Amino acid sequence: MDEIKGIFKSWHNEVDTKQVFNFTLNAPSAEEFNRLRTETGWGTAPVDTVNNSLNNSLFFVCVFQETRLIATGRVIGDDGLFFYIQDVIVAKAYQGSGLGHFIMQAIEMYLTQQVTQGTTVGLFCAQGKEGFYKKYQYLVRDGSELGFGMCKFY
């Protein structure tokens, strides 16, 4: 937690210090989560579904401007062999400010403490965001070695 606090303080020192920012490693409310999803074009999901999803997450990091959720990211998975980085979302007004980097650094710190040999960490990212995740050594599955991967949306 102290390392994450240090990274957050570094980020905060680089942005407008007239605004009050804070972070938590707790899940946001379903309403806050849906609001941020809507603001960034991700749409909403039923509150019961969101609550269930958030309650079954392994790790969370959220950033608030005053009391408003402006960025989040979480880790889901089986807490053993498979972990997935999910819902790295930054409000449009704060995109490009380094908040996504802070979220990923916090997630990477968590994962470093959890993973063992043979663990797989995966993620899906928006088209055009692959370069952001490559900074953290994530590989694009281009089909040449591991296959493209598959998913099903409902």
pLDDT in tens, 2-41: 888 888 787 777 776 678 899 999 999 999 999 999 999 9
Residue 113 has a pLDDT of: 94
C-alpha closest to that of 132 among 93, 88, 94:
88
Q: What is the pLDDT of residues 84-110, one digit of tens each?
A: 999 999 999 999 999 999 999 999 999
Q: What is the pLDDT of residues 32-69, one digit of tens each?
A: 999 999 999 999 999 999 999 999 999 999 999 999 99
Per-residue confidence at 154, pLDDT binned at 50, 70, 90? Answer: low
Residue 126, judged by CB atoms within 10 A of its CB (0-12, 13-18, 19+), counts as exposed
Say if residues 88 and 104 touch (Cβ distance below 8 Å). Answer: yes
Superfamily of domain 2-134: Gcn5-related N-acetyltransferase (GNAT) (3.40.630.30)
How much of the chain, in percent, has pLDDT values that exceed 70? 95
Domain ranges of the chain: 2-134
Cα-Cα end-to-end distance for the chain = 36
